[in-house]
């Protein structure tokens, strides 16, 4: 089992096509940066929910064993004949 991040590490909520909120679960570490070329040691973990913007890079877990992903964009979706389609 990979121990770098928790099984449930963060909650991501999208309340509209532009508002996306990420929240740590309990005492898990989440860091957010404007781009991937930052010194992650200078980015402090979140202590409360934060909004994501397009292009943000999110680091989950400790700096030694965590993982990163890039938030590209938030888009609205609709159900059409049992298929999920993007509105953008």
The pLDDT confidence band at residue 18, using thresholds 50, 70 and 90, is confident
The mean per-residue pLDDT over the stretch 7-34 comes to 89
The residue ranges of DSSP E strands in 1-88, in sequence order, are 10-14, 20-24, 30-33, 50-52, 57-60, 67-70, 77-80, 83-86
| Report field, pTM of the whole predicted structure over 0.85 | no
Apex 67 CA angle, 64 and 33, nearest 5: 95
CA distance 57 to 73: 12
Please indicate whether residue 82 or residue 1 has the higher confidence score (pLDDT). 82
Q: What is the pLDDT of residues 36-83, one digit of tens each?
A: 999 999 999 999 999 999 999 999 999 988 999 999 988 776 666 666
Which tokens hold the place of 12?
Answer: 């991501």
**Residue 41 corresponds to which tokens in the numbers above?**
């040691």
Position 82 scores a pLDDT of 66
Report residue 1 as tokens.
Answer: 């089992």
């Amino acid at each position: 089992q990979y121990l770098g991040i928790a099984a449930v590490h963060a909650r991501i909520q999208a309340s509209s096509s532009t508002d996306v909120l990420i929240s740590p679960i309990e005492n898990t570490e989440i860091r957010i940066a404007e781009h991937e070329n930052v010194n992650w040691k200078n980015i402090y973990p979140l202590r409360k929910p934060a909004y994501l913007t397009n292009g943000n890079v999110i680091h989950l877990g400790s700096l030694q064993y965590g993982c990163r992903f890039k938030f590209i964009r938030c888009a609205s979706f609709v159900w059409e004949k049992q298929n999920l389609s993007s509105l953008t």
